[in-house]
């Protein structure tokens, strides 16, 4: 929907419904502004047939199940008392990270028109359907990469079911592969998709920095103990951090320890130092290197990178859009090698994106190296991969998982709602066309009648002339007219 100014009808509130954890009765009042906004834009007579879904994500997943259930129960009980939307207990749930990834994947591919199989397009893929060896050629979908502050996510279609090297790998694949049908009914096998989705907690940009600082602290402690030095324990002898711009001074505090650091802006050394973090630092973090990943056909695939992938390439380096590893590497190295004073001067001069701030300037060197390692070492993207775009908007639209969620949840509704409408439209169209055709027929009939009358009159005129000519030929002796007496003009 769009308003009268052609702006999307969207409303967002923060920080999230999990704030009602300690007081579940606050859940409905928290959502009330959103529901009132929706009620104001959906026609009142349509409320009873408009489905409402309340889907909760990461914030709710972190709560104990008891608190999750209490919040959902409050919503199911109280929302119908205030709003007439089509809402039931099954419409309120806490979704998994896998579901969230699938919904995000559906959203981006819907906006890009990749589910429309009628239009011909060069970029196609052969998809294996079922276990009978059947295959279908259809539009190639795009994969997504999304890096937030805390987590990293990847989702992409797996056209070939393939074989597994071990039972353990097959078991891991079952938990990471989602197969679903986006057709209007279950018989539409052409709209069956098999998508690999994985979320890596602790691999987001900010959490990765925290893990890196812990790694540096431990390494510095070991180094000092082995070499009897005091590196990083005072401002006069700081730890020279390759992941910070040259000359930037900072402190890191962990567990009662304070580490003094000074940037030295060595991007290649930074990237090398980050490589161990791809394995994860504890049992709660899956290894990015060791995790099962469905095969990617890098010769026939396409990916979009969102969130940190876009910020890291665009906000400072101004390289958002088509990704090129050599260009990105060169720009990142040049940025890291600059002195902190020069970078802050450029920032004040407005040379960077309006979204860039001091935090971005400070950690751009680190985050660019981390993004590079995640992409090329963690996910094994080739350095010459040509089909990755980093983006924030697609066709000037902010694509979020919520779009994919509503598409998935309502994928069967057209059977119920749109068929009667299409019949009515077809009937109305037929009546309209019949009226037009009757108009033409009426004028055609009038034209035929007029032509018939004209032809009939012309025929009568020809007959009359023929009769006069015949009469003149049959009376040749008649050469004058006799006027009876009393009817002339004279005696």
160 and 282 both lie in a single domain: yes
Residues ≥6 apart with Cβ < 8 Å to 462: none
| Residue pair 18/62 in contact by the 8 Å Cβ criterion | yes
The stretches of 374-412 forming alpha helices (DSSP H) are 401-409
SS3 342: helix
316 and 167 both lie in a single domain: yes
130 is an annotated ligand-binding site residue:
no
Q: Which CATH number do you get for residue 30?
A: 3.30.420.40
pLDDT at 130: 67
The answer as to whether 456 is a domain residue is no
For the chain, 491 residues long, the average pLDDT of each consecutive 10-residue run is 84 90 95 96 94 92 94 97 95 92 94 82 79 77 92 92 73 86 78 92 90 86 67 84 94 84 95 90 69 92 95 95 97 96 93 90 96 97 96 85 91 54 41 51 84 86 78 53 49 40
Nearest to 178 by CA among 154, 151, 203, 147: 154
The answer as to whether 427 is a domain residue is no
Residues ≥6 apart with Cβ < 8 Å to 422: none
Q: Which CATH number do you get for residue 367?
A: 3.30.420.150
Interatomic CA distance for residues 483 and 490, integer angstroms: 11
54 and 118 both lie in a single domain: no
**Residue found by looking up tokens 């630092």 in the block:** 281
SS3 318: coil
Which of 397, 413, 429 is where one domain is finished?
413
392 and 345 both lie in a single domain: yes
Which of 73, 94, 115 is where one domain is finished?
94
327 and 287 both lie in a single domain: yes
90 and 103 both lie in a single domain: no
168 and 144 both lie in a single domain: yes
User: Which residues share a beta bridge with 137?
Assistant: 126
192 and 60 both lie in a single domain: no
The answer as to whether 224 is a domain residue is no
The answer as to whether 445 is a domain residue is no
Q: Please indicate whether residue 100 is annotated as part of the active site.
A: yes
Which of 366, 394, 413 is where one domain is finished?
413
294 and 392 both lie in a single domain: yes
332 is an annotated ligand-binding site residue:
no
How many angstroms separate the Cα of 350 from the Cα of each of 311, 333, 346, 356, 364? Answer: 17, 21, 6, 10, 16
63 and 190 both lie in a single domain: no
**162 phi/psi in degrees, rounded to 5:** 65, -175
pLDDT at 472: 66
To 5 degrees, how large is the angle CA 18–CA 19–CA 20? 85
pLDDT at 332: 97
166 is an annotated ligand-binding site residue:
no
112 and 75 both lie in a single domain: no
The answer as to whether 243 is a domain residue is no
Instruction: Domain of residue 35: give its range.
Output: 17-94
Query: Which of 93, 100, 214, 398 is flagged as catalytic?
Result: 100
Q: At what angle do helices 205-227 and 267-274 cross, to 10 degrees?
A: 90
| N-term to C-term CA, the chain | 102
Q: Is 348 exposed, middle or buried (0-12, 13-18, 19+ CB in 10 A)?
A: exposed
The answer as to whether 197 is a domain residue is yes
pLDDT at 285: 57
The answer as to whether 215 is a domain residue is no
The answer as to whether 419 is a domain residue is no
153 is an annotated ligand-binding site residue:
yes
Which tokens hold the place of 320? Answer: 């958002």
183 is an annotated ligand-binding site residue:
no
Count of domains in the chain? 2
In terms of residues, how long is the chain? 491
Nearest to 262 by CA among 362, 412, 400, 352: 362
């Amino acid at each position: 929907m769009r308003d009268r100014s052609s702006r999307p009808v969207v409303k967002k509130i923060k920080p999230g419904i999990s704030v009602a954890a300690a007081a579940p009765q606050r859940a409905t009042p928290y959502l009330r502004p959103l529901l009132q906004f929706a009620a104001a834009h959906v026609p009142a007579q349509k409320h009873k047939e408009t489905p409402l879904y309340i889907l909760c994500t990461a914030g709710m997943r972190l709560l104990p199940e008891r608190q999750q259930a209490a919040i959902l129960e409050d919503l199911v009980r109280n929302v119908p008392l205030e709003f007439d939307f089509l809402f039931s207990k099954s419409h309120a749930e806490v979704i998994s990270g896998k579901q969230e990834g699938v919904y995000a994947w559906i959203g981006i591919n819907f906006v890009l028109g990749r589910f429309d199989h009628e239009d011909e397009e060069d970029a196609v893929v052969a998809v294996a359907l079922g276990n009978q060896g059947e295959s279908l050629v259809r539009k190639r979908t795009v994969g997504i990469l999304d890096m937030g502050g805390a987590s990293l996510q990847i989702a992409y279609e797996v056209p070939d079911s393939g074989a597994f090297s071990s039972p353990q790998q097959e078991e891991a694949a079952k938990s990471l592969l989602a197969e679903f049908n986006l057709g209007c009914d279950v018989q539409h096998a052409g709209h069956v998709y098999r998508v690999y989705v994985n979320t890596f907690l602790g691999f987001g940009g900010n959490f990765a920095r925290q893990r890196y600082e812990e790694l540096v602290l431990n390494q510095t402690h070991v180094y000092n103990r082995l070499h009897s030095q005091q590196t990083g324990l005072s401002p006069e002898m700081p730890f020279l951090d390759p992941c910070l711009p040259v000359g930037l001074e900072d402190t890191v505090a962990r567990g009662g320890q304070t580490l003094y650091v000074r940037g030295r802006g060595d991007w290649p050394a930074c990237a090398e130092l980050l490589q161990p973090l791809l394995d994860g630092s504890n049992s709660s973090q899956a290894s990015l290197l060791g995790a099962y990943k469905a095969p990617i056909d890098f010769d026939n695939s396409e990916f979009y990178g969102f969130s940190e992938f876009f910020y890291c390439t665009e906000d400072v380096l101004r390289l958002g859009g088509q990704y090129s590893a050599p260009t990105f590497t060169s720009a990142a190295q040049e940025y890291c090698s600059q002195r902190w004073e020069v970078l802050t001067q450029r920032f004040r001069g407005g040379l960077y994106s309006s979204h860039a701030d001091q935090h971005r300037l400070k950690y751009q060197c680190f985050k660019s190296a981390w993004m590079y390692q995640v992409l090329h070492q963690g996910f094994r993207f080739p350095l010459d991969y040509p089909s990755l775009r980093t983006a924030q908007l697609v066709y000037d639209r902010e694509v979020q998982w919520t779009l994919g969620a509503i598409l998935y949840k309502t994928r069967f509704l057209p059977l119920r709602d749109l068929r009667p409408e299409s019949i009515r439209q077809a009937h109305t169209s037929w009546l309209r066309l019949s009226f037009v055709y009757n108009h033409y027929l009426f004028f055609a009939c009038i034209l035929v009648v007029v032509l018939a009358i004209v032809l009939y009159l012309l025929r009568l005129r020809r007959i009359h002339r023929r009769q006069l000519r015949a009469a003149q030929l049959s009376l040749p002796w008649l050469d004058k007219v006799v006027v009876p007496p009393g009817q002339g003009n004279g005696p």
